[in-house]
């Protein structure tokens, strides 16, 4: 019998790609999402992509324990993959309490209902943001943790909630996955990062410039101690990231032991390298303007990727051109009528 997995936030950017990877790996998957940052139309696209006749899904919030109870009444889950959260760093500085409520209370609600049903395996969407301002590169999982904004605070607190739960009760098995910078889209062009609003992150911003929706990219800082002076980050293709969730889940199921790993490539790419690669994907040079550094930005941030390789067999295989080409394919096809 296929293992059954609950995906919270499964209609979102990373959740939808993980849905595809889990179906391809033979799991039965149920999505819950309140569609606060996604569209219900993604469900029919997932059906089209995977051949699953009707994607099993429920509309509701992780803040609603009665709703969670209903979903757990209807299914016998082996594990949960928890994506549902608010994720905009800038917004989190304006409405920190909402971020703490959704990201931390949502997690607590989920853990309580899981415990009541004896479901003890959970994969948690954490982030490189839990390293605060990194002291050493590449960033190892044992590096000191911290936060520089309310969003980062909620992710660190999420990890700590899981650590406290596991310390008190070893029946829990948590896969804590610290994503670096997820980019790109499924090669079909049917799912990708929803390009509404002004994006916070580099690649969606570049994509908007490429599409002519924004005039140019502002490059914040050209005098960092990096090869071309611009900021360096570890970009990982969202399909690689999605496969990392499948590997984390199967590790939890095989061993019932938890793990905390970075999911990145281990390589840093600069803003200008990213811009040039996106230019190759869309067929023209993209305009940019150099601006002063932004307070709080670090020169470089990339993962020590060896623990995920050793523990989960995880390897990011898709390169920069694939990241940009798949993003551009999504922007010019699928995102138009999503």
Residues belonging to the active site: 151
Instruction: Choose the binding region for ligand NAD from 35-43, 91-99, 228-236, 300-308 (rule: CB under 6 A).
Output: 35-43
**Minimal distance, residue 34 CB to ligand NAD, in Å:** 4
Strands 288-291, 173-179: pairing is unpaired
CA atoms within 13 A on the CB side of 261: 28
Handedness of CA 262, 266, 267, 268 (dihedral sign): positive
Interface residue with ligand NAD, options 6, 22, 68, 102 (CB under 6 A): 102
Decide whether 99 or 222 has the Cβ nearer to ligand NAD. 99
Decide whether 34 or 243 has the Cβ nearer to ligand NAD. 34
Instruction: Identify each DSSP E strand in the chain by its residue range.
Output: 4-8, 28-33, 56-59, 79-82, 121-127, 173-179, 181-183, 217-220, 232-233, 235-237, 259-263, 269-270, 288-291, 300-301
Told to check if 335 binds ligand NAD by CB under 6 A, we report no
Give backbone dihedrals phi and psi of 33, rounded to 5 degrees, phi first: -160, 145
Number of residues written out for the chain: 338
Token pair for residue 196? 């509404």
Question: Binding to ligand NAD (CB under 6 A): which residues in 149-208?
Answer: 179, 182, 201
Handedness of CA 9, 11, 12, 15 (dihedral sign): positive
Interface residue with ligand NAD, options 57, 125, 260, 270 (CB under 6 A): 125
Give dist(CA 81, CA 125) in Å, integer: 8
Interface residue with ligand NAD, options 29, 46, 77, 106 (CB under 6 A): 106
Instruction: Choose the binding region for ligand NAD from 7-15, 228-236, 318-326, 329-337 (rule: CB under 6 A).
Output: 7-15
Decide whether 57 or 230 has the Cβ nearer to ligand NAD. 57
Told to check if 61 binds ligand NAD by CB under 6 A, we report yes
Residue nearest to ligand NAD (CB): 12
Interface residue with ligand NAD, options 36, 44, 160, 196 (CB under 6 A): 36
Interface residue with ligand NAD, options 19, 27, 83, 153 (CB under 6 A): 83
List, as one string, the DSSP characters of 91-155. HHHHSHHHHHIIIIIHHHHHHHHHHHHT--EEEEEEEGGGB-S-SSSSBPTTSPPB-SSHHHHHH
How many residues in the shown chain lie near ligand NAD by CB under 6 A?
29
Instruction: Choose the binding region for ligand NAD from 49-57, 58-66, 209-217, 278-286 (rule: CB under 6 A).
Output: 58-66
Give backbone dihedrals phi and psi of 220, rounded to 5 degrees, phi first: -90, 100
Handedness of CA 9, 25, 57, 158 (dihedral sign): negative
Instruction: Choose the binding region for ligand NAD from 70-78, 84-92, 111-119, 314-322 (rule: CB under 6 A).
Output: 84-92
Question: Binding to ligand NAD (CB under 6 A): which residues in 215-274?
Answer: none
Give dist(CA 78, CA 292) in Å, integer: 49
Question: Which residues would be at the binding site for ligand NAD (CB under 6 A)?
Answer: 8-9, 11-15, 32-38, 61-63, 83-87, 102, 106, 125, 127, 179, 182, 201
């Amino acid at each position: 019998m296929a293992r059954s997995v609950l995906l919270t936030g499964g209609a979102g950017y990373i959740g939808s790609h993980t849905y595809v990877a889990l179906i391809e790996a033979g799991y039965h998957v149920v999505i819950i999402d309140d569609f606060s940052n996604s569209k219900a139309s993604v469900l029919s696209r997932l059906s089209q992509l995977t051949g699953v006749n009707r994607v099993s899904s429920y509309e509701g919030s992780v803040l609603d324990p009665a709703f969670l109870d209903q979903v757990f009444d209807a299914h016998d889950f082996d594990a949960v993959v928890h994506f549902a959260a608010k994720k905009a760093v800038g917004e989190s500085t304006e409405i920190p309490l909402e971020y703490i409520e959704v990201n931390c209370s949502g997690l607590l609600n989920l853990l309580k209902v899981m415990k009541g049903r004896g479901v003890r395996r959970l994969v948690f969407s954490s982030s490189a943001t839990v390293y605060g301002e990194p002291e050493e590169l590449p960033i190892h999982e044992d590096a000191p943790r911290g936060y520089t904004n309310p969003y980062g605070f909620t992710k660190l607190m999420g990890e700590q909630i899981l650590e406290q739960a596991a310390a008190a009760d070893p029946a829990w098995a948590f896969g804590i996955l610290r994503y670096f910078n997820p980019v790109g889209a499924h090669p079909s062009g049917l799912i990708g990062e929803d390009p509404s609003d002004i994006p916070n992150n580099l690649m969606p911003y570049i994509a908007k410039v490429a599409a002519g929706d924004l005039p140019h990219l502002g490059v914040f800082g050209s005098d960092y101690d990096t090869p071309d002076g611009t900021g360096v980050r570890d970009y990982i293709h969202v399909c690689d990231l999605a496969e990392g969730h499948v590997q984390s889940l199967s590790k939890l199921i095989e061993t019932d032991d938890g793990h905390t790993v970075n999911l990145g490539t281990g390589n840093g790419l600069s803003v200008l390298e990213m811009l040039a690669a996106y230019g190759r994907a869309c067929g023209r040079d993209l305009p940019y303007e150099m601006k002063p550094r932004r307070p709080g930005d670090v020169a470089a941030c990339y993962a020590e990727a060896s623990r995920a390789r050793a523990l989960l067999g995880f390897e990011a295989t898709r390169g920069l051109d694939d990241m940009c080409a798949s993003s551009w394919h999504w922007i010019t096809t699928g995102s138009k009528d999503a």
